Structure 1
Amino acid sequence: MFCDYVALGFPLEVNISPDSSTIHSCNGIVCISYGLEDELCLWNPSIHKMMTLPPVTFQAHNTNWYSIGFGFDSLTDDYKVIRIVYLRPNFDQNHPEVEIFSLRTGTWRNITHLDLPYTICKHASQAYVKGTAHWLAWDFRSMSSSNLSVLIVSFHMGDEVFGEIMLPNGMPTDDFMENVRVAKFQESLCD
């Protein structure tokens, strides 16, 4: 059992809201969403450095919700943040706005043209495994009034492409969003 710990001083002098969250950590760098949902930073607590990301393209005031992913692109030796924004009023009928931040270039790029046909579940956790971010999502293309199609959406940081992973057969979907999340165990996805 681990008993030793170190208290890390938070690098931002802001009031952290209940909506603030750690998105993910990768290779010792932590991605944090704070204040308004448009404010993001990357923090390396071991060397006491923090970088606030530049403003995003699609501001939160017109969103229904958004999802953030963070990971490392080993092909270009670059850390990336992906932001998927669902605009009002018909989030389930419109494809989201998608943008990606590259630490190497220090800029956001719009990649909405990738045409993501899924809706990442609100407040879904992200799991980063083997160069790929993963979230639970709904597939509204195959949804009927009595059937909600749930799957795992992936985004490969190097190739910058979306993919899908079907859930195991027999996995119950009743109260699904409250009972299931994606997580990482060693180098695999798990529930």
Structure 2
Amino acid sequence: MANMNMPMDVVNDLFLRLPATTLLRCRVLSKPCCSLIDSPDFIASHLKRTLETAEHLMILLQSPQLLRTVYLDAPNKLSDVEHPLQTGGVTEVFGSVNGVIGLTNSPLDLALFNPSTRKIHRLPIASIDFPEHSISRENVFYGLGYDSVSDDYKVVRIIQCNDEGDEGDESFGYALEIKVFSLKSNQWKRIRVNFEVQILFIYFYYDLLHRRGNGVLASNSLHWILPRTGGHTAFNTIIRFDLASDNLGVLNFPQDLYCEDDMDIGVLDGCLCLMCYSESSHVDVWILREYQGKWSKFITVPKPETVVSFEFVRPMIYSKDRSKILLELNNGKLVWFDLESKSFEALEIKGCEGPCNAEIVVSSLVFGM
């Protein structure tokens, strides 16, 4: 590269168009190339362009013992992803943002990981106030987000105790602990929960669907749905964690869905979505196009003939011409849903056998080398 006497501004423009995995190999071309690729300004510019163009998008596939990636536009090239958090158990993925994913083996063993660069940041242990026997996986919720205000990556951990407190206990129900981790400070801090949110956790009515416990990122906030189940609460609710202020609050919910009994939450193109399941025959998807604005019904997804029932439906991403939406159905089945014809087309990934949970991950150099 150096012998070609190519101006570095041309090299910079060329490199911005390449995926992160290719750029890692380009570091050995010359010292100037290595310095350019490793510079914070280039890493930020590369991420900005990737997000704007939606190029080099990957699907991260998670099976019980393995992580793999495949580019969305090249589903025949599956790559295994090894990471230092691997154990004999199951490592779960609890979010993806800017090419970084959240990994956990337990509430005490968490990490941030870039599958493109293979760089991992293990989070310091955040102790739990409750006895081990009073905690179950169904009552531990995670969220991964990027705070654009402070340029910081944050992890939220919410734990609800199984043991009901004494009548005189200030928690007036099942104790709740919320902590947030800041990558900038590399520290956890406890979040005080106001009455508006605390009262929602009096009873164990949180009926955990597949990955419902993972926070959904939109408008610089993480969101979880608290569905009405078991007769303990009257209405469905969305709680939101503002990444800039570290405050936990409640987001408005569409009145038409207050009393629906089978709900889930997701995000599409940066907008929050609500999935309303109707007797396993179809799913209505509602969308919040303007944050804190009014919810509107977006699409109705009929049950494909190849699916016995809807257990889990999640919109993931638009096609490049925005005529289709990639959906994840049930145990990791990926299909393109045509918005006009309402037809389905399976996304076949060569070498992927069995159920795999999926996440969209951008190719980025975040965490550098």
Q: Distance in 2 between matches of 1:87 and 1:10?
A: 33
Contact 1:25 1:31 in 2 (8 A): yes
Q: Distance in 2 between matches of 1:2 and 1:25?
A: 19
Relative to its length, the structure with more helix (as a share) is 2
Percent identity over the alignment? 20
Q: Could you say if the C-alpha distance between residues 137 and 146 of structure 1 is closer, same or farther in structure 2, counting changes exceeding 3 Å?
A: closer
- Aligned equivalent of 2:119: 49
Residue 14 (1) aligns with residue 103 (2): no
Q: Could you say if the C-alpha distance between residues 8 and 14 of structure 1 is closer, same or farther in structure 2, counting changes exceeding 3 Å?
A: same
- The CA deviation string for residues 114-170 of structure 1, in whole angstroms up to 9 with x for no partner, is 55423393452421012110001258xxx9957532211110101111221232122
Contact 2:94 2:143 in 1 (8 A): yes
Residue 128 (1) aligns with residue 211 (2): no
Q: Distance in 1 between matches of 2:79 and 2:192?
A: 40
Q: Which has the bigger relative contact order, CA under 8 A and spacing at least 6?
A: 2
- Aligned equivalent of 1:27: 98
* Post-superposition offset of 1:85: 1.1
Q: Residue 257 of structure 2 aligns to a residue in which SS? A: coil
What RMSD over aligned residues (CA atoms) do the two structures have, in Å?
Answer: 2.8
Q: How does 1:26-175 map to 2 (within 5 A)?
A: 26-34=97-105, 36-58=106-128, 61=132, 62-64=134-136, 65-90=139-164, 93-114=173-194, 116-117=197-198, 118-119=200-201, 121=206, 122=208, 124=212, 125-137=214-226, 145=231, 147-171=233-257, 173=259, 175=261
Residue 188 (1) aligns with residue 271 (2): yes
Gaps of 5+ in 2: 1-71, 166-171, 275-369
1:68 counterpart letter in structure 2: Y
2:191 counterpart letter in structure 1: I
Contact 1:24 1:70 in 2 (8 A): yes
Structure 1 stretch 160-169 or stretch 126-135: which is displaced more?
160-169
Q: Distance in 1 between matches of 2:187 and 2:223?
A: 23
Q: Distance in 1 between matches of 2:217 and 2:242?
A: 10
Q: Could you say if the C-alpha distance between residues 114 and 57 of structure 1 is closer, same or farther in structure 2, counting changes exceeding 3 Å?
A: farther
- Rg larger in structure: 2
* Post-superposition offset of 1:181: 1.5
* Post-superposition offset of 1:51: 1.4
Tell me the TM-score normalized by structure 2: 0.44
Tell me the TM-score normalized by structure 1: 0.81
- The CA deviation string for residues 56-112 of structure 1, in whole angstroms up to 9 with x for no partner, is 121671324211111011222111111111113128814511111111111111113
Q: Residue 125 of structure 2 aligns to a residue in which SS? A: coil
Figure out how many residues of one structure are paired with residues of the other and give that number: 182
Structure 1 stretch 67-76 or stretch 143-152: which is displaced more?
143-152
